[in-house]
Amino acid sequence: MPEKKAKAAKPVSKAQPEQSKPEQPQPEPMPAPKPSEQQLAKISDLVQDDRNANKGTKRGREFVARSLKEYGAGRSILLDRKGRIIAGNKTVEQAGAAGLQDVVIVPCDGTKLVAVQRTDLDLNDPKARELALADNRAAELGLEWDPKVLHDLSAELDLKPFFSEQEQRAMFGREHAGGGGGLSEADKARFSVAESLAEFAPTEEEMAVLKGRKVLVEFSGGKDSSAATLWVHHFLPEAEVILMYADLGSEFPTMPQHLIASRDFFGSRFILKILRSKVTIYEELDKQGWPSPHFPWCHEILHETLDNFVAGFKAEEVVIVRGGRASERSRLHGKVQESRFLVVERMKDYKFFQPLYFSQKEICEKLIADVQMPLWEGYGRGLCRTACRICPGQRTEAYAATRANFPDTWSELVWWENRLGPGTWQSGGPSGSEKKDFTRMANSGEQRFRDHQAARSGATAPQADAEQQ
C-alpha cells in the first residue's frame, strides 16, 4: 500500500525549487438534470406567437427543417408561463416536419442560463462544428421583419432600444394610393396602353386637386422623372415648377451638365434646385458598410434631403410629382396602387402624383425621344439608370459598362470593395448566399452590355470571352 504522505503532498514553499505542474485533468461530463426539474410535453401543445414580428423567409424555413433533420435539435426555445412561444416560433413550425414530437420543458425564472447538453456530440467532431454553423446561419436566413406588426407593437413598446430612428423610418415610411383623384378601371386600362403624351391627360378629379398648386418635381435626371416633367410641362402650363435634384455626393461627373440642359429645355418657368444632403454617401458608406435591399440606408439620405426642402412649403400649396411606374413597383414590392396620387406616410399631409404610373418604361423613352429632350449620356454608354456611381444594386450590364467606359468609377468601386468586402445585391457561390463581387457581376453582364452597344451602332456584338460569361 502506498505511504499516506503520497496522498497529501504539501504545497511547494517559495524557498524550494519550482516543480513542473501536473497536466490539467479533462472535465467530467455534467450530470443530467434531475427528472423533477423538467417536464415532458408534446410540441403540438405549444402555442405560437400570433404577433411575431419576424415574418420569416421561405429559405430560412427550409434551412431550419433541413438542419433539424440532419443534426437534430440544438438551441432551446423560450416559452412563457402559459406555454406560448416567446422565441423559437420558426423552429417549432419545422420540428414536426423533421419528425420531432416531444419537447422537454425546463422551468426557470430567468435568473439562470438553461443549457442544452447534447450527449451524442463532441465539439471536436465535424457534426458538432456543422451544427454550430447551422445555428448561426439559420438565424441569419430566417429573419424578415414584419413592418405592420412592428408598427402595431410600437404603440405599446418603445422600439428605440431595438431599432435606430433611421431603421424605423425605413420600415414605417410606407407609401400607398390615396390623396384624391381616384381612377376608374377604364382610365387605368387607357393609361396602360397609351402611346402619346396626350393620352395621359388628367381626369377632371385629378385636375381639381392639381390646379393652382406649385409643382415640385423629384427630378433624378433619369428617363422616368424626365417623362413626368414633360407631362407637367404639357398639362400644367401655368404652374410654377421646381425641379428638385438631391446631390448625395456620389453622382456621375456629367450629371450637373445634364440637369442644366434639361432645365434649359423647358424654359424659364422651370427652376432647378440642386439640394445637397447633410451627409454624403461616402461618409455613411464608411460608417455603415454597403446598403442592402432590406436596409437601403442611402434611400433615407435621399428622402431626408428632398423632404427637408418640401417641408418649406405649405402642404396645400404644392404637389410633388414623381416618375414612378406600376411595373417597377410591382417588380419590387409585389403590389400595384389604384390611383396616380400617392400618400407617403412620412409626409402624409402632402400630395404626391405619378402621372405615368400606369405606363411602360418604353413609353417613357418614346415620349422623351418624340420631343428630343436631352437624355443623360450615361444611357448611351451602357448604364441603366441614374443611380449613384457606386450603387451596389445595379444590373450586371451596368457594371460591365462602368468597367469599360468609366474606368475611374470602376477603380473606385474596387477600392471600396477591398475595404468593405463584396456588397452587391445579387448572391451566388456554392451556398447560393455569397455576395457577388463587382468583377463577377461585370463578367455576367458583359455580353448584354456588348449587345446594347452594338444595337446603338447597328453592328453585330462580338462574343464575350469565356471567362466573362
- Site of grid cell 415610411: 173
Q: Map residue 338 onto helix, strand or coil.
A: coil
Report d(CA 286, CA 153) in Å as an integer.
32
Specify whether the CB–CB gap between 335 and 324 falls below 8 A. no
Secondary structure element (H or E) that encloses residue 128, with its range: helix 126-141
SS3 (DSSP) at 322: coil
- Using DSSP bridges, classify how beta strands 270-276 and 427-428 pair: parallel, antiparallel or unpaired: unpaired
Q: Which CATH architecture has domain 176-369?
A: 3-Layer(aba) Sandwich (3.40)
The helix-helix angle for 126-141 and 58-71 (nearest 10°) equals 160
State the pLDDT at residue 188. 64
The domain limits of the chain are 36-141, 176-369, 396-468
**Rounded (5°) CA angle 431-435-439:** 120
Interatomic CA distance for residues 371 and 44, integer angstroms: 67
d(CA 307, CA 302): 9
pLDDT at residue 286, as a whole number: 93
pLDDT score of 429 = 46
Distance CA 77, CA 57 (A): 19
Per the CB < 8 A criterion, the answer to whether 390 and 285 are in contact is: yes
Q: What is the pLDDT of residue 302?
A: 95
Which H or E run contains 97?
none
The three cell numbers of residue 244 are 428638385
Q: What pLDDT score was predicted for residue 231? A: 96
pLDDT computed for residue 74 by the predictor: 85
In our burial notation (b when 16+ CB lie closer than 10 A, e otherwise), range 370-381 reads eeebbbbebbeb
The span from the CA of 66 to the CA of 83, in Å, is 25
pLDDT (tens, 9 = 90+) of the chain, 469 residues, equals: 444 444 444 444 444 444 444 454 555 554 544 544 678 888 888 899 989 989 888 888 888 888 888 888 888 899 998 889 999 999 988 887 788 888 989 898 889 888 889 999 999 999 999 999 988 888 888 888 887 788 788 878 888 888 876 677 666 655 544 555 555 666 666 676 677 888 889 999 999 999 999 999 999 999 999 999 999 999 999 999 999 999 999 999 899 999 999 999 999 999 999 999 999 999 999 999 999 877 789 999 999 999 999 999 999 999 999 997 775 544 334 445 678 998 888 888 999 999 998 887 788 889 999 999 999 999 999 999 898 999 999 999 999 999 999 999 999 999 999 999 998 987 654 444 567 899 999 999 999 999 988 887 765 556 655 445 4
Residue 142 CB partners (closer than 8 Å, separation 6+): 54, 56, 57, 59, 60, 61, 63, 64, 90
- The pTM (predicted TM-score) of the whole model is 0.64
